[in-house]
Amino acid sequence: MMAVSRSMLSRRKGMTLIELIVAFTILLLISSMAVPLARSRVRKIKEHDLRAALADIRTAIDKYKDAADSNKLGPQKQDGYGYPESLEALVNGVKAAGAAGADTKIKFLRRIPKDPMTNTYEWGLRSMQDDPGSNGWGGQNVFDVHTKSDLKAPDGTAYADW
């Protein structure tokens, strides 16, 4: 049997510097590929949540408008065109019309959804009287909502135009 010297054993105990550099380089390459995929996934989730929140709010606005047009709600502002005065009116509810509905409130939303792009509960609003391309709100009523984010989708459209 051959005798193993101390110098041979000390060389085999750990990784060499070259092996460490190669291992870290491989880890760096793998992680650099994973980060863009994770960011893309987060962006897609936010886009999905934005579409869902906009759909919920717009459906509630449409239901309010339908109820106002069919005289199911109490007295409306004349320049409101049957649209809610604010998003809070959709959550807090509006008194129903008629003697039977004097104590009844009709609610259209449980809560105002969070804007996933700005991570706040503040939405950009448009009234019926506002210019369709405007991002400002005249304050008369709530005809439409949009995110206040300045970011753009991968196709180049602004999230505020969704």
Dump pLDDT digits (tens) for 3-53: 555 655 555 667 788 988 999 999 999 988 888 888 899 999 999 999 999
Q: In angstroms, how far is CA 11 from the centroid of its own chain?
A: 57
Is 4 contained in some domain? no
Position 122 confidence tier, pLDDT thresholds 50, 70, 90: very high
CA distance 21 to 37: 25
Is 56 contained in some domain? yes
Is 72 contained in some domain? yes
Which residues, 6 or more positions from 130, have their beta carbon under 8 angstroms from its beta carbon?
136, 137, 138, 143
Is 9 contained in some domain? no
Q: Count structural domains, the chain.
A: 1
- Residue 90's pLDDT is what? 94
User: Mean pLDDT across the stretch 84-105?
Assistant: 82
Is 159 contained in some domain? no
Nearest Cα neighbor of 129 from 109, 144, 148 is: 144
φ/ψ of 16, rounded to 5, equals -80, 165
Position 155 confidence tier, pLDDT thresholds 50, 70, 90: very high
What sign does the dihedral 65-69-73-76 (CA atoms) show? positive
The model's pTM: 0.76
Eight-class DSSP state of 39: H
Domain that holds residue 69: 17-150
- Residue 100's pLDDT is what? 61
